Amino acid sequence: MRLSILIAAAAALAGAAPASHNPVFAGADPDMVALCGRWWIYPTDGTAKRFYAYQSPDLQHWTRSAPLLDMADVAWIGADGVHDHGLWAPSLTAANGRYYLYYAVGPQNPTPSLLGVAVADSPDGPFLDSGKPLLTGGNGFEAIDPMVFVDPASGKAYLYAGGSAGATLRMFELEPNMTEIAREIPIETPPNFTEGAFLHVRRGIYYLSYSHGHYNRPDYSVHYATAPHATGPWTYRGEILHSDATHQGPGHHAFAQNPATGQWFIAYHRWERGPGPGPYRGARQIAIDAIRYAADGRILPVRMTDTPPPASPLPASSCRKDRP
C-alpha cells in the first residue's frame, strides 16, 4: 500500500474504540492471528510512525494495546538520508517461543523500500527491532507487504514480499532465528498480483491470496491461487472479494482460523462509500467476514457485511507458538 494517505487517517484511528459492528475500527493492511485465547489484529496505524495491536475474545469487542514499536526506536531507518519515513503492513508470526513482527519501511521513492523485523516475548509487545533491515528493495523490486508462513509440512519459515510498481512477488527461506534470510526461493508471480500476499493452508491445500488493482480505486480486490506446496506451483482460482454498492476497494487482508470450531475468517480494509472512480482519500476501515469453502476446496466469494462478524470465542489457552 502507499504512504500518501496514512497521515490523513491518523485522527480517525486514534479515536478507535471497541466495536460491535462491521467495520470494527479504522486502519489498513490488517494481519489477524488467533493466539493465547485471543484474536489479534495488527494494522497499519494512521500516523505511520508506530504499531499497535488490537485484541478480542470474540471478534466483536476490541481493545487497543500500548504501542508495540515506535519508529524512533528503529535506529537504521534514517541511514538512507531521507527526512520522512513511514511504517506500514505489519505481520506477526510466532516461532521459537517468541513473536516476530515484520513490517515495511518507506518511502519507496527515490530510495528503496525496506523490510524490518522486531521481536517480543508476548503478542502485545513491546517489540525490540533486530537492529538491521531484513530485506532492501531496488532494481524494480519494492520490498513491501511482508508475510511469514511457517510451513507445518517442513517446519521451515518462508517470507513472501513485494508488489505495487513492478508487481513482483518474491519468496525467501528464513534462518531458524527468524530475523535473517537464508536463501531466495524462485517463485512465479501469479495472475493479477499487485501486492499484499498472504498464505494459509487448509486440508493439504496451500492458498496464496493477494490484492489486485490500485489501492485507492474501486478495482482493488482480493484474488487467490492454490498449490500442493508452500512453494507452488500455483493454479489461479479467481477473485473472492471486490467492491460493491456501499464499500469500495477491499484488500490487503489476512486469514485466521478458530481452532476450536474450524471456522476461517478474513480481515481486510475497505473504503466505506458508494461507487466512484477514485482516487479515494481519508481513513480506510477494517472489517472481518466469515470464509466459506466449497467441497472441492475452492474459496467461495466473500460478501462484505455491515453487521458484526459472527461471535467466535476462542478456547482459553496458553500462548500458541505457531500460526494456525
Summarize pLDDT for 145-188 with one digit per residue, the tens. Answer: 999 999 999 999 999 999 987 799 999 999 999 999 999 999 99
Mode of pairing for the β-strands spanning 285-290 and 54-56: unpaired
B/e letters for 226-245, b = 16+ CB within 10 Å, e = fewer, are bbeebbbebeebeebbbbee
Beta bridge partners of 232: none
Helix locations, 222-273, DSSP H: none
Say what the pLDDT of residue 19 is. Answer: 52
Beta bridge partners of 87: 105
Say what the pLDDT of residue 253 is. Answer: 98
Beta bridge partners of 205: 202
**Residues making up the chain, counted from first to last:** 324
Locate cell 495472475: which residue?
191
List domains and CATH numbers for the chain.
3-64+139-290 (2.115.10.20)
Q: ω before 133 within 30° of 0 (cis)? A: no
Do residues 180 and 168 lie in contact, with contact meaning Cβ atoms separated by under 8 Å?
no
Would the CA dihedral through 237, 240, 241, 243 be positive or negative?
positive
Say what the pLDDT of residue 236 is. Answer: 98
Do residues 247 and 260 lie in contact, with contact meaning Cβ atoms separated by under 8 Å?
no
Say what the pLDDT of residue 317 is. Answer: 79
- Extract the residue ranges of the chain whose pLDDT is less than 50: 1-18, 320-322, 324
